């Protein structure tokens, strides 16, 4: 196995240009690659499309900012595709003001759209959203007398992931619930940048523990704060 490039977060995000589509792992900030998020925010890249489960937490009254919230606050996104935004008041404000396009997708549908992209599927049928605003603009297919929505795959230019440990080839192991969307996002982007807490030699990881194989990973970033 060939070793993957190991970069600083600031170096890894340089290839993300204005207008890119990015997936970011995490659930309310748990499992989000914060070094990569902060580096991207500092870089000032704009007009991005975000694919993420949520926009994490932004509550300035309690000085609480988690996950991708800094990127939202600094208006780095022209479009956000997520399952909910209720814990980030700035996302809601931007949506209501027409500053950022927000597309809300049921959580299971969002996960499956990403998985469909990663697994080479042309789409899938789901009853979720039939008869609601979710069905607007979508093809409705009837099977055995029941209506389904045709949902299409969701791809990205870049996936920014968080893992607990990697070997130098790029095989990834996650930490408990911090796994969440990270493994499926690894399969659905052209370039996958994985921020990890520890990097070991090839062969040191138990194959039974590996969740994301090296073939999906492009670049490794060592979380320096974790290793000080």
pLDDT digits (tens, 9 = 90+) for 73-88: 999 999 999 999 999 9
CATH number at residue 60: 3.40.1080.10
In this structure, which long-range contacts are made by residues 91-96, counting pairs with CB atoms below 8 Å and at least 24 apart in sequence?
A: 91/55, 91/58
Domain-embedded: residue 6: no
Q: Determine how many CB atoms are found less than 10 A away from the CB of residue 82.
A: 21
**What is the structure's pLDDT at 91?**
97
Domain-embedded: residue 126: no
**What is the structure's pLDDT at 228?**
44
**What is the structure's pLDDT at 225?**
74
Domain-embedded: residue 148: no
Domain-embedded: residue 182: yes
Domain-embedded: residue 62: yes
Residues of the chain predicted below pLDDT 70: 226-228
For residues 192 and 81, give the distance between their C-alpha atoms in angstroms, rounded to a whole number: 19
Task: Give the residue numbers spanning the domain of 171.
Answer: 18-104+155-222
**What is the structure's pLDDT at 219?**
98
170: nearest Cα among 202, 143, 148, 147 = 202
Domain-embedded: residue 190: yes
Number of domains in the chain: 1
Domain-embedded: residue 119: no
* Token pair in block for residue 116: 């469909």
**What pTM, to 2 d.p., does this model score?**
0.95
Domain-embedded: residue 91: yes
| 3-state DSSP helix/strand/coil % of the chain, to nearest 5 | 25, 30, 40
**What is the structure's pLDDT at 226?**
65
């Amino acid at each position: 196995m060939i070793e993957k490039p190991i970069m600083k977060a600031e170096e890894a995000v340089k290839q993300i240009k204005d207008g890119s589509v990015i997936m970011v792992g995490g659930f309310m900030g748990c499992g989000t690659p914060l070094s990569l998020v902060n580096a991207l925010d500092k870089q000032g890249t704009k007009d991005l499309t975000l694919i993420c489960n949520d926009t994490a937490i932004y509550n300035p009254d309690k000085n609480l900012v988690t996950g991708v919230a800094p990127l939202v606050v600094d208006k780095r996104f022209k479009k956000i595709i997520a399952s909910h935004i209720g814990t980030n008041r700035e996302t809601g404000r931007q949506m209501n003001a027409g500053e950022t396009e927000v597309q809300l997708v049921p959580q299971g549908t969002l996960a499956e759209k990403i998985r469909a992209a990663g697994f080479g599927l042309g789409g899938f049928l789901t009853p979720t959203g039939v008869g609601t605003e979710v069905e607007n603009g979508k093809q409705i297919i009837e099977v055995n007398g029941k209506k389904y929505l045709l949902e299409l795959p969701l791809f990205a230019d870049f996936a920014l992931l968080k893992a607990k440990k990697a070997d130098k080839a790029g095989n990834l192991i996650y930490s408990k619930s911090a796994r969440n969307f990270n493994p499926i996002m690894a399969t659905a982007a052209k370039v996958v940048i994985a921020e990890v807490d520890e990097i070991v030699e090839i062969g040191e990881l138990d194959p039974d523990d590996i969740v994301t194989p090296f073939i999906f990973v492009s670049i490794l970033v060592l979380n320096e704060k974790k290793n000080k």
